[in-house]
A and B are shown apart, each in its own frame.
Chain A
Amino acid sequence: MKGFLLGLVFLAGVLIGYLIPVFPHLFVNPSVDFGEVLNAIVLLLVAIGINYVYTEQSGAKRSDTELLLYTVRDARSAFDALRLAALACERNQGLTNEEQLEIVVAKRELFNSIESIEQGLMQCRIKSQDMGFQRLKDACLLLMDALTDSPYPGPYDNASLSAIGRYSKLVRNELNRVAFAINHR
């Protein structure tokens, strides 16, 4: 962008340089005020500088936002995997060893992906409390407790299944909220 702008200024200069001899009455005031010319050049340089700084900053922010949203997508995938593993709780019997393992491994993935978002926010110097990030962590802890605290490893009663459904919805909503908060910052 910087190169493009400088090129544009150069081309404009060259063009005006060619046009002045051809149409002197349009461009040339016989008494050229060099102070005005200098002012115009300074103004142009300031405009280029502002444009450069703004472009750099907005570009970096856009990249940060994309990376942060990528970590949220990662967490969303981990959450979906946990929801899939948790379907086994809906059966009216205890979890098998494989199902237990699947749930605790998926739970670990979800929490570690949530931690990755937090690390990303820190890297971008965003205070996680400004995003209400603790609400997401609390929602995940509630879901984890609903899945792997008593009556784990099952069978799960109606109250437990209802809690799993409720806290799953809460985690999903919190992930969406954090994604929007990152996007709108």
Chain B
Amino acid sequence: MKATQKLELNIALEFTRTPGPRKRSEGKYSGEEFLDTLLRPKFLSATSIGTILHVNLDGAAGYPTSFLEEAFGGLAREFGPSEVDRAIELTCEDEPYLVDQIRRYIREAKIIK
């Protein structure tokens, strides 16, 4: 794969259309589950081949704050905000403001922990 190509992750198609709470213990389709089963593995694949992970948030019914913070903030706590901020591209036509929100969760991940 060329460095200019992106690795794709579509949450609605690959995970669920109804994202749930923060932790697995709180319910189905949690942010924790998303981080463990999809986001972290795809992020590692993308960084290992030096490309960008493009996360498409369109198609879902809506995203709770806790799901997004646990998934993207959790990834930033693990790999560092600057690395995650650089390696992830976000798209959300359904809720455009979410992109800025997720960037904030990534940047402030260290503070939250």
Query: A residues bordering B, Cβ < 8 Å?
Result: 97, 100-101, 103-105, 107-108, 111-112, 114-115, 137, 141, 144-145, 147-150, 152-153
How far is it, in angstroms, between the C-alpha of A103 and the C-alpha of B64 when the chains are bound? 9
Interface size bracket, B side: 10 to 19
Asked whether any CB of chain A lies closer than 8 Å to the CB of B63, the reply is: yes
How far is it, in angstroms, between the C-alpha of A103 and the C-alpha of B62 when the chains are bound? 9
User: Nearest-CB distance from A112 to chain B (Å)?
Assistant: 7
Report which of A101, A105, A141, A150 forms a contact with B101, defined as CB distance below 8 A.
Answer: A141
If A107-B62, A148-B64 are given as contacts, then 8 extra A-B residue pairs at C-beta distance below 8 Å, sorted by A number, are: A101-B62, A108-B95, A115-B96, A147-B65, A148-B66, A149-B66, A150-B22, A152-B64
- Given A111-B95, A115-B96, A153-B26, check contact A104 B61 (CB 8 Å): yes
User: Nearest-CB distance from B87 to chain A (Å)?
Assistant: 25
Query: How many residue pairs at the A-B interface have CB separations less than 8 Å?
Result: 52
- B residues near A101, Cβ cutoff 8 Å: 18, 61-62
Report which of A104, A114, A141, A147 forms a contact with B63, defined as CB distance below 8 A.
Answer: A104
How far is it, in angstroms, between the C-alpha of A112 and the C-alpha of B69 when the chains are bound? 20
- Given A100-B20, A150-B66, A153-B21, check contact A105 B61 (CB 8 Å): yes
